[in-house]
């Protein structure tokens, strides 16, 4: 489900406060507390109210309960019953579209979302539906429409940029995010997504800077640390000071890996020893520790020890880069056949990645989107 959507259970509960009699009132309370099974049980045998407003609220409540229980088709059916009682109600049209999207009824969802009015939320839901239908250009246009209608809402800019990033249209995504960043100075999410887009475009230095800024804006934003760690570990160079500080405050194993690079750059034996000791303290199944110990022993020409660590590294994380590094170590040990096997595995892994990239590129041939 796209990030711009309000969950149907929440959406449906927004307007059911008119149900003021027991046991309906109790069912509303249980649903707000996410005790959906109890609410469902309480409604068994309850007669539908006579008043139209309460009938609408009754079906919205049942839709919220069904959605909470994971039954999206029943939820869609219940919200459609509500819509039949007020077919021009924009809120019900949008709630119906969301429920139908979750139930996979995409054509109906699109029709109802488009009928819900020219609002940012309706445009965002249209974007979610078009994304699900595979209409990526139309999805991006809808998210752009949501941004134009509500430029002060961060979530719509993120939805637009994420749509572009997910389909590898990095340049316009960067334009969206760089325009948005000054408007939302405390948004770690925007800066994290900007870092991802910059990395996708090949700007590793810009990506590291954006991710460090994301962490400074929101020190609790876990994805920013994870992406920054990925970038820093991918490089054999020592990280900038702000990256080192951020990662050392986050994860001791990654911190040791960064210190290993710094020790190599400075030719600092003491710091290298501290880094290796830190890596050894990590759990045996930690791929970062195993791969980085392999790197440490390779750099100090302890190839037998490097082999042990890198074999475990490849087992835990069989990336093309790790196959390549293990192959180099085998070559240093004179194990030509094993080295050739690793290089063949590296090529196969890279070919698989290239095929995936080609499929995505073909899907994006018409994805020429201009940011205005």
* Tens-digit pLDDT profile for residues 141-199: 999 999 999 999 999 999 999 999 888 889 999 999 999 999 999 999 999 999 999 98
Tell me: do 36 and 92 sit in the same domain.
Answer: yes
Tell me: do 127 and 32 sit in the same domain.
Answer: yes
User: Are residues 217 and 232 in contact, defined by beta-carbon separation less than 8 angstroms?
Assistant: no
Tell me: do 1 and 124 sit in the same domain.
Answer: yes
Is residue 148 in a domain? no
Average pLDDT in the 34-45 region? Answer: 90
Tell me: do 128 and 16 sit in the same domain.
Answer: yes
The answer, yes or no, to whether residue 361 has pLDDT greater than 60, is no
The answer, yes or no, to whether residue 368 has pLDDT greater than 70, is no
Tell me: do 1 and 121 sit in the same domain.
Answer: yes
Tell me: do 265 and 305 sit in the same domain.
Answer: no
pTM of the full predicted structure? 0.79
User: Are residues 109 and 124 in contact, defined by beta-carbon separation less than 8 angstroms?
Assistant: no
> Of 49-53, 220-224, 250-254, which has the strongest mean pLDDT?
250-254
The last residue of one of the domains, among 72, 107, 132, is 132
d(CA 326, CA 322): 6
CATH of the domain at 14: 1.25.40.10
Average pLDDT in the 65-76 region? Answer: 94
pLDDT score of 3? 55
User: Are residues 225 and 214 in contact, defined by beta-carbon separation less than 8 angstroms?
Assistant: no
Tell me: do 76 and 118 sit in the same domain.
Answer: yes
The answer, yes or no, to whether residue 364 has pLDDT greater than 90, is no
pLDDT score of 13? 53
The last residue of one of the domains, among 249, 271, 293, is 271
The last residue of one of the domains, among 82, 105, 132, is 132
The whole-chain average pLDDT of the chain stands at: 89
The answer, yes or no, to whether residue 10 has pLDDT greater than 70, is no
The answer, yes or no, to whether residue 220 has pLDDT greater than 80, is yes
Helix axes 188-200 and 204-217, enclosed angle (nearest 10): 170
pLDDT score of 46? 84
Tell me: do 318 and 225 sit in the same domain.
Answer: no
d(CA 180, CA 178): 5
Average pLDDT in the 217-225 region? Answer: 93
The answer, yes or no, to whether residue 272 has pLDDT greater than 90, is yes
Looking up tokens 């910059």, which residue turns up? 198
The answer, yes or no, to whether residue 286 has pLDDT greater than 70, is yes
Tell me: do 2 and 124 sit in the same domain.
Answer: yes
pLDDT score of 369? 38
Is residue 89 in a domain? yes
Average pLDDT in the 89-100 region? Answer: 95
SS3 229: helix
Using 50, 70 and 90 to split pLDDT, how confident is the model at 200? confident
The answer, yes or no, to whether residue 273 has pLDDT greater than 80, is yes
The answer, yes or no, to whether residue 92 has pLDDT greater than 90, is yes
Full domain range(s) for residue 27: 1-132
Is residue 174 in a domain? no
The answer, yes or no, to whether residue 4 has pLDDT greater than 80, is no
Average pLDDT in the 331-360 region? Answer: 82
pLDDT score of 25? 84
The answer, yes or no, to whether residue 333 has pLDDT greater than 90, is yes
pLDDT score of 5? 56
The answer, yes or no, to whether residue 353 has pLDDT greater than 90, is no
Tell me: do 267 and 289 sit in the same domain.
Answer: no
Is residue 102 in a domain? yes
| Structural domains counted in the chain | 3
d(CA 332, CA 294): 13
Tell me: do 233 and 342 sit in the same domain.
Answer: no
The answer, yes or no, to whether residue 359 has pLDDT greater than 70, is no
Is residue 123 in a domain? yes
Contacts of 325 (CB under 8 A, 6+ apart): 291, 294, 295, 298, 310, 313
Instruction: Report in angstroms the alpha-carbon separations of 19 from 79, 123, 207, 263, 305.
Output: 16, 30, 51, 67, 70
Give the E-state strand segments of 18-85 in sequence order. Answer: none
Is residue 151 in a domain? no
Is residue 262 in a domain? yes
The answer, yes or no, to whether residue 224 has pLDDT greater than 50, is yes
Phi-psi region of 298 (alpha: psi -120 to 50; beta: other; left: phi over 0): alpha
Is residue 77 in a domain? yes
Q: Which of 24-28, 118-122, 300-304, 357-361 has the lowest mean pLDDT?
A: 357-361
Tell me: do 32 and 123 sit in the same domain.
Answer: yes
């Amino acid at each position: 489900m796209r990030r711009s959507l309000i969950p149907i259970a929440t959406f449906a509960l927004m307007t059911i406060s008119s149900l003021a009699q027991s046991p309906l009132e109790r069912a509303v309370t249980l649903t707000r507390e996410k005790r959906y099974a109890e609410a469902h049980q309480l409604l068994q045998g309850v007669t539908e109210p006579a008043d139209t407003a309460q009938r609408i609220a009754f079906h919205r409540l049942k839709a919220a309960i069904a959605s909470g229980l994971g039954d999206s088709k029943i939820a869609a059916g219940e919200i459609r019953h509500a819509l039949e009682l007020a077919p021009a109600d924009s809120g019900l049209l949008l709630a119906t579209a969301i429920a139908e999207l979750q139930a996979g009824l995409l054509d109906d969802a699109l029709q109802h979302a488009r009928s819900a009015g020219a609002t940012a939320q309706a445009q965002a839901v249209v974007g979610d539906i078009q994304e699900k239908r595979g209409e990526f250009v139309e999805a991006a246009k809808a998210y752009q429409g949501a941004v134009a209608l509500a430029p002060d809402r961060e979530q719509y800019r993120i939805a637009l940029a994420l749509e572009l990033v997910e389909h590898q249209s990095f340049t316009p995504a960067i334009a969206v995010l760089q325009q948005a960043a000054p408007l939302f100075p405390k948004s770690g999410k925007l800066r994290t997504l900007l870092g991802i887009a910059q990395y996708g475009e090949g700007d590793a230095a810009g990506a590291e800077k954006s991710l460090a800024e994301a962490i400074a804006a929101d020190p609790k934003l876990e994805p920013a640390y994870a992406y920054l760690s990925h970038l820093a570990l991918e490089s054999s160079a020592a990280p900038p000071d702000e990256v080192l500080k951020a990662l050392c405050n986050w994860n001791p194993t990654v911190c040791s890996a960064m210190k290993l690079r710094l020790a190599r750059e400075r030719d600092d034996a003491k710091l290298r020893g501290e880094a290796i000791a830190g890596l050894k303290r990590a759990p045996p199944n930690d791929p970062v520790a195993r791969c980085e110990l392999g790197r440490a022993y390779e750099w100090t020409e302890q190839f037998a020890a490097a082999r042990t660590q890198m074999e475990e590294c490849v087992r835990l994380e069989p990336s093309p880069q790790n196959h390549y590094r293990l192959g180099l170590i085998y070559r240093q040990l004179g194990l030509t056949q094993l080295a050739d096997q690793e290089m063949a595995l590296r090529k196969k892994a890279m070919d698989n990645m290239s095929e995936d990239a080609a499929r995505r590129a073909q899907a994006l041939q018409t994805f020429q989107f201009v940011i205005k």
